[in-house]
Structure 1
Amino acid sequence: MKKYLFPLLTLLLLASCGGNDDPPPAPGGASLVFPEENSECTTGTSVNENLSQVTFEWSASTNTDSYTLSAVNLDTNVPQTISTAATSASLSIAKGTPFSWSVTSRNSKSEQVASSETWLFYNAGTQTSYAPFPAQLVSPISGSTVQKDIANEVLLRWSGADVDNDIDAFQIFFSDQNPPQTEAGSTSASVMELAVSVTSNTVYYWRVITTDSQGNTSDSGVFEFKVF
Structure 2
Amino acid sequence: MIALFLGNCSADSDLAELLGPSINIELTFPENLSECTEGTLVSETESELTFLWEGIDRVQTYKMTLTNLNTSNIQEFESDQPQLNVLLKRATPYSWSISSASSPNKIRSETWSFYNEGPGPESFVPSPATAISPANGASISATATTVNLRWNAEDRDDDIVGYDLYFGEDNDPALFESDLENDQFLGIPVAAGITYYWKVITKDSQGNESISPIFSFTVG
Any gaps of 5 or more consecutive residues in structure 2? 1-12, 137-141, 168-173, 190-197
Q: Displacement of 1:156 after TM fit?
A: 3.8
Taking the TM superposition and a 5 Å limit, the aligned residue runs for 1:57-206 are 57-106=52-101, 113-127=106-120, 130-136=124-130, 150=145, 155-162=148-155, 164=156, 166=158, 170-172=162-164, 182-183=178-179, 185-187=180-182, 192-195=183-186
Q: Is the 8 A contact 1:100 1:119 kept in 2?
A: yes
Alignment partner of 1:40 out of 32, 35, 48: 35
Q: Is the 8 A contact 2:34 2:113 kept in 1?
A: yes
What is the rounded CA distance, in whole Å, between the counterparts of 1:106 and 1:159 in structure 2? 30
Partner of 2:15: 25
1:50–1:174 Cα change, 3 Å: same
Write the letter of the residue equivalent to 1:160. A
1:218–1:89 Cα change, 3 Å: same
| TM-score normalised by length of structure 1 | 0.59
What is the rounded CA distance, in whole Å, between the counterparts of 1:207 and 1:24 in structure 2? 35
What is the rounded CA distance, in whole Å, between the counterparts of 1:79 and 1:118 in structure 2? 13
Counterpart secondary structure, 1:25:
helix
1:121–1:181 Cα change, 3 Å: same
Q: Is the 8 A contact 2:45 2:119 kept in 1?
A: no
Mean Cα deviation higher: 66-75 or 122-131:
122-131
Does residue 209 of the first structure (1) align with residue 202 of the second (2)?
Answer: yes
| TM-score normalised by length of structure 2 | 0.61
1:46–1:57 Cα change, 3 Å: same
Q: Is the 8 A contact 1:67 1:84 kept in 2?
A: yes
Partner of 1:13: none
Partner of 1:55: 50
Write the letter of the residue equivalent to 1:70. T
Q: Is the 8 A contact 1:30 1:115 kept in 2?
A: yes
Q: Is the 8 A contact 1:71 1:81 kept in 2?
A: yes
Q: Is the 8 A contact 1:25 1:63 kept in 2?
A: yes
Q: Displacement of 1:111 after TM fit?
A: 9.1
Write the letter of the residue equivalent to 1:85. D
Q: Displacement of 1:53 after TM fit?
A: 1.5
- Bigger Rg, which one: 1
Q: Is the 8 A contact 1:180 1:207 kept in 2?
A: no
Counterpart secondary structure, 1:24:
helix
Root-mean-square deviation (Å): 4.4
Q: Is the 8 A contact 2:37 2:116 kept in 1?
A: yes
What is the rounded CA distance, in whole Å, between the counterparts of 1:122 and 1:30 in structure 2? 21
User: Which string of whole-angstrom CA distances, capped at 9 and with x for unpartnered residues, describes residues 172-201 of structure 1?
Assistant: 4679xx777853x312xxxx3212667xxx
